[in-house]
Structure 1
């Protein structure tokens, strides 16, 4: 099963996903990223007093970006 990596980036921070997650296909990886962004938007971002901006970049096993979602 292919492995996908979910890297996070804000204005000041970049968090590399070094472990990744095995998922059946790119569509599942894109859906997982979109759900993570929705959770951030609805939870953490809702409670924040500061304006934040995060990007979730999904890459495949050869480090090709397959999807980008933002909060």
Structure 2
């Protein structure tokens, strides 16, 4: 099964997912929600094992 990584960029920081998997996605989602409540926007980039971008979404 392929492994995917969920990287988060907000106005103030960049969080690179070095582990991949469901747990990390949930943790990054929590960071994004916290910063959104503080009035920031964020972008989540999903990459594959070769670090190729699969999907990007902004919130």
| 1:69 corresponds to 2:29 | no
Gaps (5+ residues) in structure 2? Answer: none
Q: For residue 61 of structure 1, give the secondary structure of its aligned residue in structure 2.
A: coil
Q: Deviations over 1:14-53 (max 9, x none)?
A: 001000017xxxxxxxxx7xxx5xx83xxx43xx2x4201
Q: Within 5 A, what are the aligned runs for 1:1-71?
A: 1-21=1-21, 36=29, 40=33, 44=34, 45=36, 48=37, 50-71=38-59
Mark the structure with the bigger radius of gyration: 1
- CA distance in 1 between counterparts of 2:21 and 2:2 reads 8
Normalising by structure 1, report the TM-score: 0.61
CA RMSD of aligned residues (A): 2.2
